Chains A and B, each alone.
Chain A
Amino acid sequence: MIKHIKTPLKKFSQKASFLGASLAVVAAALAPVLLITPQARAAQITNRSLTISTAVPSATAVTYTIGDGTTGFKFGTSHVVKGMKFEVCNTAVGTCTHPTGFSWAASGGYTLTNWQDATAFTKTTTNTNDCDGTNVAILCLGRGAASVAENTSAFHKIVITGAVNPDNTNCSSNPNCSFFVRMTTYDNSTYTTGGGAGSQAVDNGTVASSTVQTLTVNAAVAEVLSFCIGATTVDDDTTSVGATCSAVTGTAVDLGTLDTSTVTVSPVSSVSNTGNDRNGVAMLRTNAANGSTISYDAIQDTGSNQLGTLRIPGSTCNALDTTLTDPCIRAQGSGQGVFSAGVERFGMTIAGTNCANATTLYSCSYGSSTEHLQPSASYIGKTGAFCATNTCNTTGNGFAWVQTGGTATQIASSSTVVADEALILKFAATPSITTPFGAYAAKADFVAVPTY
């Protein structure tokens, strides 16, 4: 740092010099460049350009277009072109070192545009005079039948297919690596030079190109999961329960006062009964493309027997759930069923999948079965339709509840991503005449498992 302060001008000068050199290298790397090969006895091909179909190092089946198709190149001398040589080199001038990896071996096409003599060129694969067709970096094209002279005013183009780009060995593995194609025309098809008319090279010129590194744009979409359980007053499949999980609140559904004369189904009025007007809700958002499941596991209460059903907390119940005089309301079990008033049962079902949040992202309608998050068998409140109020019981499939703990019971699944779809959970209970009075509770642990 001190040195820089002491000799700022010198350092700047050195840096500027180097910067200029760097810019020159970069410019050469990035753009096709017109370069003129100074051969005194030959005329220059002008308006030269080279377009390659891909600049990826070592790319195969690459198309090389000499002449840009709009203006093309012009011959410096009007002559019958019976032979052409395209030699690929690391430098524009001087001794030609062939770039590693380049090959004309599989080349073909040689399509001509705007030539005065349209006779097709064919590849010479032998080492003939000035053109070594055995070298993969040298392309020798001949057409002995040509008879019409190419003029110096027309724009010419030739398209060569099947080339293999150089690798980046010659540039110390830097993929931004320049290379040059030296072109020579002959008035004979045997690539003879040094003679008179009919035995000489006529025009030449060099075009440049470069392989470049592949620009890759990377982005990562992380695994996403948002899952919540709560309570909602929503009792349909189209009214949003909240845009996201942050808007879902509550941890309880209150079924109010049960009576033997009816099957109580959430939501239970807080006015006419002593409920809390709420259904349960389980909302899921995930980009797990391999699907997701939602399961519940009845939390085991203290006390004894039937620990996961609707029960007076801490109480002792009979081992047989058919006993109707203990303070445990009989769980429906894994098999779904419609409840009858006064026949002691407790259960849960899914009234439907609320799609309100998902419809902006994909087609989602519970009635049309286009929801991604679909209730599982035994938890479909009503086939083909949302069951509001108590219709999951009166006209639906009823309820189920597995009260044994330890093994989660799946209630819904998706085979693909889910955008804040919400299961509307309905709970139902009815006591028998002998069900002991008191405050009953059941608790569940809901688990979402996305597979990414």
Chain B
Amino acid sequence: MLKLKKALLILLPAMLLIMQLSSKSQALHLTNHSVKLSSALAGATASHDFQFTYPSTNVVGSVMLEYCAQGALLSMTCNAPAGLDLTGATLTSQTGNTGFTIDAVNSTANKFILTRVPLAGVSTLSTYNFDNITNPSGANTTTYVRIATYPTTDGSGPDNDEGAVAFATVSPFEVGAFVPPFIKLCVGITVANDCSSASGSGIDLGILSTGGPKFGTSQFAVGTNSITGYNIFSLGTTITSGNNAIAAMSTPDVSRRGTNQFGMNLRANTNPAVGADPQGGGTGIPQTGYDTPNTFKFHDGDNIASSNLPTDYNKMTASYIVNINSGQPSGFYATTITYLAVGQF
């Protein structure tokens, strides 16, 4: 009898261990479990939306959601993630197995205990959404949330079902770029509306005559991101041949046959038929003296076009006319005109 008692004393712990192991193995594993954060930024205030499927129909009176810095297993020690704070969180919605509220007594800064009147669980996908959670403060770190359901209302005793989910907190990812001040001007005989191409640099007006004007065109396009826009200046002298010059049109005037004239404008003209009005979606416009069809002018350094806003490209066509009188000395007449764009940044 004494030996039997002693045998029981020795065997009992082993049997209890077996029973405990057996009991533990009966906890089923949650399926389809995940947590979705509205923001994964370290330290951010975020919503955490949990979902999982109850694997059994055991009576459920509480659900534990415990946030741990390491390890997903319930058997492991749980260290609260630094910076995490659940104390201000609210349970905003729930589906599936419902009727839970946050157990304020048993919940902590890193653990929710959801409690309800014990009811048989439903083996279905359930969701629990929380707002106003302060994420852990560590970037590029993983936080595990251990989940367990209990028949008790306070998360005590053996659990029914268990599982874990994980999320990672990250730093905000930044993309940087610098937009420089732009004032883009291109000049040529022909240019693209957006300055993507330009070609030609000389105009041959042919043989000048007293019988009517000789004319030709060039183009420029301009745009800027200057908040005050741009001004385009034409720089150069009138057309000359050695010491002989054809007078520039210092004041706006129409083309006059037999009169020495060198001028330009930025409009579509009919007399003579040359030029084109400004093109493009920008706000640039020709300036006074250069903005009237059939009226021409040339003065070194004149502001011939401008915009007072940031503007998309405008392509402008410069029309040049030359008239001479009968006394104009023969020769090879030429000039070089430079366009200058100025913006304020």
Q: A residues bordering B, Cβ < 8 Å?
A: 14, 17-18, 21-22, 173-174, 213, 216, 218, 220, 222-230, 245, 248, 251-261, 264, 274, 280, 286, 288, 290, 297, 299, 310, 324-325, 329, 342, 346, 348, 406, 408, 427, 429, 431-452
Contacts and interface: CB of A to CB of B under 8 A. Distances in A.
B167 interface: yes
A310 B36 contact: no
B33 A258 contact: no
Contacts of A280: 173, 175
Contacts of B168: 225-228, 448
B176 A433 contact: no
A438 B168 CA distance: 34
Contacts of A450: 34, 165-166
B179 A436 contact: yes
A117 B313 CA distance: 113
A255 B312 contact: no
Contact of B179 (A248, A438, A452): A438
Given A174-B11, A447-B36, A447-B39, A229 B177 contact: no
A222 B73 contact: yes
Contacts of A445: 39-41, 44, 170, 172-173
B206 interface: no
Nearest to A451: B34
B310 A436 contact: yes
A290 B163 CA distance: 14
Contact of B223 (A17, A286, A329, A434): A434
Interface in B302-345: 309-313, 345
Interface string B136-157: 0000101010000000000000
Contact of A222 (B11, B51, B71, B345): B71
7 contacts: A222-B73, A253-B174, A255-B175, A259-B180, A274-B178, A408-B38, A441-B176
A181 B169 CA distance: 65
B309 to A, nearest CB: 7
A325 B176 CA distance: 19
Given A213-B18, A436-B225, 17 more contacts: A230-B140, A251-B171, A256-B178, A264-B177, A288-B34, A297-B38, A297-B39, A433-B184, A433-B225, A439-B176, A440-B177, A441-B177, A446-B173, A448-B167, A449-B36, A450-B166, A452-B164
Interface stretch (B2-10, B91-99, B114-122, B207-215): B2-10
A225 B142 contact: yes
Contacts of A437: 178-182, 225, 345
B270 interface: no
B264 interface: no
A167 B276 CA distance: 106
Interface residues of B, number: 61
B310 A260 contact: no
B313 A225 contact: no
B164 A223 contact: yes
Contact of B140 (A245, A431, A444): A245
A290 B32 CA distance: 7
A251 B178 CA distance: 17
Contacts of A290: 31-32, 34
Residue in A17, A229, A288, A433 with the greatest tally of chain B CB atoms within 10 Å: A433
Contacts of A408: 38
Interface string B6-49: 11001100010010010001000001111111111100100000
Contact of A310 (B18, B177, B225, B310): B177
Contacts of B71: 222
Contact of A257 (B21, B178, B196): B178
A434 B225 contact: yes
B39 A434 contact: no
Nearest to B171: A251
Contacts of A324: 312
A452 B310 CA distance: 54
B72 interface: yes
Contact of B25 (A216, A253, A448): A216
A21 B7 CA distance: 9
Contacts of B164: 222-223, 452
B177 A429 contact: yes
B291 to A, nearest CB: 22
Contacts of A432: 312
A282 B20 CA distance: 43
Given A223-B144, A223-B164, A433-B223, A440 B37 contact: no
B282 to A, nearest CB: 8
Nearest to B174: A252
Residue in B3, B163, B182 with the greatest tally of chain A CB atoms within 10 Å: B182
B194 interface: yes
Given A22-B7, A260-B182, A441-B174, A452 B225 contact: no
B224 interface: yes
Given A22-B10, A253-B176, A258-B177, A433 B182 contact: yes
A255 B178 CA distance: 8
B171 A440 contact: no
A439 B178 contact: yes
Residue in B40, B174, B179, B313 with the greatest tally of chain A CB atoms within 10 Å: B179
| Those 3 A-B pairs whose CB atoms lie nearest each other, nearest first | A225-B166, A433-B223, A222-B72
B227 interface: yes
Nearest to B163: A452
A247 to B, nearest CB: 11
B310 A224 contact: no
Contact of A434 (B72, B144, B174, B311): B311
B170 A229 contact: yes
A14 B3 CA distance: 9
A442 B25 contact: no
Residue in B39, B168, B196, B224 with the greatest tally of chain A CB atoms within 10 Å: B168
Given A433-B313, A449-B35, A450-B34, A255 B182 contact: no
A257 B182 CA distance: 12
A174 B39 contact: no
Nearest to B140: A228
Contacts of A213: 18
B130 to A, nearest CB: 15
Contacts of B310: 325, 434, 436
A432 B224 CA distance: 9
Contacts of B34: 288, 290, 449-452
A451 B127 CA distance: 13
B41 A427 contact: no
B312 A257 contact: no
B172 A444 contact: yes
Interface string B198-240: 0000000000000000000000000111010000000000000
Interface string B57-85: 00000000000000111010000000000
Contact of A223 (B10, B165, B174, B312): B165
B312 A451 contact: no
A408 B41 CA distance: 13
A21 B3 contact: yes
B221 to A, nearest CB: 10
Given A18-B6, A432-B312, A437-B181, A226 B174 contact: no
